[in-house]
Amino acid sequence: MSYAQQMMMILPEIVLAVGALVLMLVSAWGGHSSARGVSWTAVAVLIGAGVALLGPASHGGEAFYGLYRADAFGAFAKLLIYIAAAVSIMVAPRFFATTSGDNLRPEYPVLILLSAIGMSVMVSASDLLTLYVGLELQSLAAYVLASFMRQDTRSAEAGLKYFVLGALASGILLYGISLVYGFTGSTLFDVIAQAYAGDRSLGLLFGLVFVFAGLAFKISAVPFHMWTPDVYEGAPTPVTTFFASAPKVAAMGLAVRVAIEAMGPAVDQWRQIVIFAALASIILGAVAAIGQTNIKRLLAYSSINNVGFALVGLAAGTQAGVSSVLVYMAIYIVMTLGSFLIVLQMRDADGMPVETIDSLSGMSRTRPWLAAALAMFMFSLAGIPPLFGFYAKFAVFSAAVESGLFALAAVGIAASVIGAYYYLRVVKTMFFDEPAPAFAPMDSKVEGGLIAITALVISPLGYLLIPALLSATNMAARALF
Amino acid sequence: MNGFPILSVMLLVPAVAAVVCLFLDAKSARWLALAATLVDLALGIVLWASFDIGGAQWQFVEHSDALFGSFSWALGIDGFALLLIMLSVFLMPICIGASWEAVQQRVPEYMAAFLLTEVLMIGTFAAQDLFLFYVFFEAGLIPMYLIIGIWGGVNRIYASYKFFLYTLLGSVLMLIAMLWMTQQAGTTYIPDLMNHDFPVHAQTWLWLAFFASFAVKMPMWPVHTWLPDAHVQAPTAGSVILAGVLLKLGGYGFLRFSLPMFPEASSQLIWLIFGLSAVAVIYTSLVALVQSDMKKLIAYSSVAHMAIVTIGLFAFNRQGIEGAMMIMLGHGLVSGALFLCVGVIYDRLHTREIDRYGGLAINMPRYAVFFLLFTMASIGLPGTSNFVGELLALMGTYQVSTWTALLCTTGIILGAAYMLYLYRRVVFGDLTKDDVKAMPDLSMREIALLAPIAAVVLWMGVYPESFLAPMRQDVAILLERIDRAQPKGDSMPTAGNPSAVPAAHHGAEGGAH
């Protein structure tokens, strides 16, 4: 295979890398005043990378002697990642204008682009070292983003916490990788899969456990979820928007690829881990969210809860299961982005952000449309039909039932009722309680438009997207089998 | 009516009106909601008029496969669905009318929520795809949660949560069962599933999963506790729709899913249904007897009446099933009307305490007449709708289990006791309280709400054939399907020695149509 062909397969990453480097130079020389220009250019770069997915990047196959795989699965995940990253950039300028005293610094979009490169590499990795490089590139950019508001102690704390725990998780993952390498003699997924298909030694099982533990940290599945609420709460809201969406898709994509491609033959071994993580995430995510008073912490637990549901699809371990995970993640990021877009609108009369759930009180009378949109997102996250979130749960549970995992399906869906309780609490606060002081009016057409689009996708009209979504996810899932 | 998608139109009219309502002011929202529900009523009448009795089992079928990927937009009705849709569209304009003056806050949202409820109710009865049914069935929680929570009474938040979480917990297990069923049968089309023979060992689990959902909706003892709370806190029209139609979803579910899809399991678990129902009838009737809150009393009486529906459904014979359907329709009208009657005096005095009233027959004679009619109908007096249903259901049950029939018949006596006791305390007696003296009699609007229900209640009581005819063939199909699992009755009735008279009778009956 010629070098040019291989380059075409990684064209999205090249577009992002060149874009990020050029924009870094622009921001170094241009200073603060270049922030808006850099932001919009970064969005354009992400769109460019998305367009580049149309080429060999989505169906080229293996590149660089098996280190990297350009397939439909990666392309689907990348598309979601780029969309989420672009939204995270678009919502930032207004937020930073009112909080940190000075305007958005141009490094913000650059860091997001760098993180996006890392995530692209993650979902396309077919070698444990490619995986690790991608993961670290994504994580390092994310640590900086978490502490982006330097003067704010909560933000600094979030960054530090994320870094320390992230480093620990990377250590666990690397240890697992080293075990796997030691017992299989390769870091290539294909070779590892052959080793797992044969006689599985204790070392291989230990390696599997450590790799899954490291991945569980990245998707913030219980019991490796502790960092999530603190980081989500402390990080600036646009950054939280980003954390809750794009890296979740990337880490989930990565976990699915490792589970199916590298360790597919050991499905009976890792299925236990995934089932435990799924149920623990669903239940803990739901129970712990009940006592939260901060909307960002609530959404952090909600993301833990949702990761649990996505893992139900992975536990099935079948093509339908992988497809359902992708369906879940696609719908999940729309709901999450929509919810955080509304959190971004929560500003008091002076324009300072407020984060308490109580401040939403009576919003259906002060800001009816915004309240209606948030109510839709909440019902959708709870999985109540006719909103689109129901279909996400439907897909993963359908896959689980198809694989005969009845107990998992029954317990998981029964636990979703606990989750419904705290989503309902947000709706109750907005619709049933007496009005609190109104939020400052929305002054950004971009954010209003994005809320309208996400709400429209989540509405019953979203069901019309199912055929298109299914054909895309089925094609993506087929690439792994 | 060939080709005209009347069911989709019936869904579309209130759906569009609900969205438009949100952009209007209070007055126009009221009129639009009334107009939309009346249009749906008119469409419903057209539906009934053009329903071919004795024709194809499924009529007005609409099918669009590729629309939602894993499930399709499939609508169609049989006799059961037709009657329940008629009940929904009939009660809806009355609900809007009942809220005309009682609801003054956030009227556009209120009307939108009611119109949305109507869409979801019609959708539930008309859905022919398993998951489409589930979507409509579950989605009904959202508007009802908002109706109870926003426009409800003092303790509305507790009631709204309880309503939502109880019914949600019941339903989610049904979803898992549905997923398994569709994968096993390879179709999501309800008529096909109704003729699919599921393995007997799996039927028990599936039946229990569906039972969890329908028993909560119904509601059956001991999972009925959400109902009194929800009823007491909901606004009048909310109670009407809750008692009138939403409770029928449980019975409809048993009829559409549990019986034809899992006949063996239904037969095996008949002891569960009979046991719970017998307890429900006696226990909730006794509880109703000691209530001091009018709405709570009627709510408990609903639980008792619905228990007679369940025993009728699971009697596995024609009388039982037809009787159960008749009670569902009759109870929908009568309990709805009783809630309206409570609403009328609640609007005047703003209390539901029975002791605060008394002697209304003196200053509100017209009200007393209507209230008396509905009280008698609730007791099951011959000539009213509930008599027909209760008689048939209990007769059917007697053939299967004499004990259950005996125990449930006490419900009729207890029903007479608590309803007459309620009526005596509210309407009869001396008119002593000054604020009660000042209450005006029914307004024209209120008469316009109660009179149509009264007319239909009498129609059902005097000439039930109009309502029995559309479902006759569907009952036969259902019986044919569940016949192989027929439980052995303990009363062992022996057929008499029919002479030529019945033939002449059938001829006369046929001639009437």
The 3-class SS string of A29-61 reads HHHHHHHHHHHHHHHHHHHHHHHHCCCHHHCCE
d(CA A129, CA A126): 9
Q: Which of residues 192-221 of B touch A (CB under 8 A)?
A: none
Contact of B211 with B275, CB cutoff 8 Å: no
Partner-chain contact B157 A428, CB within 8 Å: yes
DSSP A440: P
> Residue A272: CB partners within 8 Å, gap ≥ 6?
none
Angle, CA B122 vertex, CA B347 and CA B196 arms, to 5°: 140
The predicted complex's ipTM stands at 0.91
Which pair of tokens denotes residue A107?
A: 């490094």
A386 CA to chain B: closest CA distance, Å? 6
Picking from A388, A391, A398, A416 by the largest number of B CB atoms within 10 A of its own CB, the best residue to mutate is A398
**CA gyration radius, chain A:** 21
**CA gyration radius, chain B:** 22
B225 CA to chain A: closest CA distance, Å? 18
Owner of token pair 């009129």: B31
Helix (H, G, I), strand (E, B) or coil at B398: helix
Closest residue of chain A to B160, computed from CA coordinates: A428
Picking from A417, A422, A470, A473 by the largest number of B CB atoms within 10 A of its own CB, the best residue to mutate is A417
Closest residue of chain B to A432, computed from CA coordinates: B150
Burial class from Cβ neighbours inside 10 Å (0-12, 13-18, 19+) for residue B495 reads exposed
Read off the amino acid at residue A57: A
**Regarding beta strands B73-77 and B59-64, do their DSSP bridges make them parallel or antiparallel, or are they unpaired?**
antiparallel
* Other CB atoms within 10 A of residue B362 CB: 15
A403 CA to chain B: closest CA distance, Å? 10
Q: Is A132 left (phi over 0), alpha (psi -120 to 50) or beta?
A: alpha
Q: In the prediction, which pLDDT does A231 show?
A: 92
d(CA B24, CA A357): 29
Helices A11-30 and A35-52 cross at an angle (nearest 10°) of 170
Nearest to B149 among A385, A409, A432 (CB): A432
Partner-chain contact A401 B179, CB within 8 Å: yes
Nearest Cα residue to B234 out of B153, B346, B139: B153
Closest residue of chain B to A461, computed from CA coordinates: B68
Judged by a CB distance cut-off of 8 A, whether residue B455 touches chain A is no
Q: Which of residues 137-176 of B touch A (CB under 8 A)?
A: 138-139, 141-142, 145-146, 149-150, 156-157, 160-161, 164-165, 168-169, 172-173, 175-176
Nearest to B175 among A368, A413, A463 (CB): A413
Nearest Cα residue to A89 out of A246, A254, A302, A301: A246
Owner of token pair 């939602």: B68
d(CA A223, CA A216): 8
Nearest to B134 among A385, A420, A432 (CB): A385
B7 CA to chain A: closest CA distance, Å? 18
Picking from B156, B179, B188 by the largest number of A CB atoms within 10 A of its own CB, the best residue to mutate is B179
Phi and psi at B90, nearest 5°, equal -75, -40
Residues in A closer than 8 angstroms to B180, CB to CB, are 401, 406
Nearest to A421 among B165, B179, B183 (CB): B165
Q: In the prediction, which pLDDT does B507 show?
A: 44
Taking an 8 Å Cβ-Cβ cutoff, which residues of chain A contact chain B?
A: 364-365, 368, 379, 384-386, 390, 394-395, 397-398, 401-402, 406, 409-410, 413-414, 416-417, 420-421, 424, 427-428, 431-432, 463-464, 466-467, 469-470
Which pair of tokens denotes residue A93?
A: 């300028």
Nearest to B142 among A384, A394, A401 (CB): A384
d(CA A317, CA B511): 64
Side-chain half-sphere exposure of B471, counting CA atoms within 13 A: 26
Residues in B closer than 8 angstroms to A416, CB to CB, are 172
H-run or E-run covering A16: helix A11-30
**Regarding beta strands B73-77 and A68-70, do their DSSP bridges make them parallel or antiparallel, or are they unpaired?**
unpaired
- Paired with A61 in beta bridges are A70
Q: What are the average pLDDT values for consecutive 10-residue runs of chain B, which has 513 residues?
A: 78 91 88 92 91 84 79 88 92 90 85 91 91 91 89 85 88 90 87 87 90 88 86 87 88 90 89 90 91 89 91 89 92 92 88 84 88 91 89 90 88 90 87 82 88 92 90 89 81 71 49 42
Partner-chain contact A466 B139, CB within 8 Å: no
Domain coordinates in residue numbering, chain B = 6-485
Partner-chain contact A406 B180, CB within 8 Å: yes
Closest residue of chain B to A464, computed from CA coordinates: B68
Nearest Cα residue to A134 out of A146, A148, A122: A122
d(CA A335, CA A327): 13
Nearest Cα residue to B359 out of B437, B424, B428: B428
Q: In the prediction, which pLDDT does A99 show?
A: 66
B172 CA to chain A: closest CA distance, Å? 6
Partner-chain contact B139 A432, CB within 8 Å: no
Partner-chain contact B69 A466, CB within 8 Å: yes
Burial class from Cβ neighbours inside 10 Å (0-12, 13-18, 19+) for residue A433 reads middle
Residues in B closer than 8 angstroms to A377, CB to CB, are none
Angle, CA B72 vertex, CA B67 and CA B76 arms, to 5°: 125
Nearest to A424 among B161, B172, B175 (CB): B161
Nearest to B176 among A413, A420, A467 (CB): A413
Owner of token pair 């009956």: B509
DSSP A127: B
> Residue B489: CB partners within 8 Å, gap ≥ 6?
B399, B400, B401
Judged by a CB distance cut-off of 8 A, whether residue B134 touches chain A is yes
Residues in A closer than 8 angstroms to B164, CB to CB, are 420, 424
Helices and strands (H, E) in chain B, number of each type:
25, 2
Nearest Cα residue to B164 out of A306, A302, A420: A420
Closest residue of chain A to B184, computed from CA coordinates: A402
**Helical H runs in B314-443?**
318-349, 360-363, 365-379, 385-400, 402-427, 434-437
Helix (H, G, I), strand (E, B) or coil at A220: coil
H-run or E-run covering B60: strand B59-64
Partner-chain contact A464 B160, CB within 8 Å: no
The per-residue DSSP string of B111-149 comes to HHHHHHHHHHHHHHHHB-BHHHHHHHHHHTHHHHHHHHH
Contact of B6 with B60, CB cutoff 8 Å: yes
Nearest Cα residue to B389 out of B468, B297, B279: B468
Per-residue pLDDT of chain A (481 residues; tens, 9 = 90+): 788 888 888 999 999 999 999 999 999 888 888 888 899 999 999 999 999 998 888 888 888 888 999 999 999 999 999 999 999 999 888 888 776 555 578 889 999 999 999 999 999 999 999 999 999 999 999 999 998 888 888 888 999 999 999 999 999 999 999 999 999 989 999 999 999 888 888 888 999 999 999 999 989 998 888 899 999 998 989 999 999 999 999 999 999 999 999 888 888 888 999 999 999 999 999 999 988 899 999 999 999 999 999 999 999 989 999 999 999 999 999 999 999 999 988 888 877 888 888 888 888 888 888 899 999 999 999 989 889 999 999 999 999 999 988 899 999 998 899 989 989 999 988 888 888 888 888 777 888 899 999 999 999 888 888 889 999 999 999 988 8
Residues in A closer than 8 angstroms to B136, CB to CB, are 385-386
Phi and psi at A479, nearest 5°, equal -65, -20
A305 CA to chain B: closest CA distance, Å? 17
DSSP A403: T
pTM for the whole structure: 0.91
Contact of B312 with B259, CB cutoff 8 Å: no
Which pair of tokens denotes residue A123?
A: 């979902």
- Paired with B75 in beta bridges are B62, B127
Q: In the prediction, which pLDDT does B352 show?
A: 85
d(CA A294, CA A237): 12
Partner-chain contact B138 A470, CB within 8 Å: no
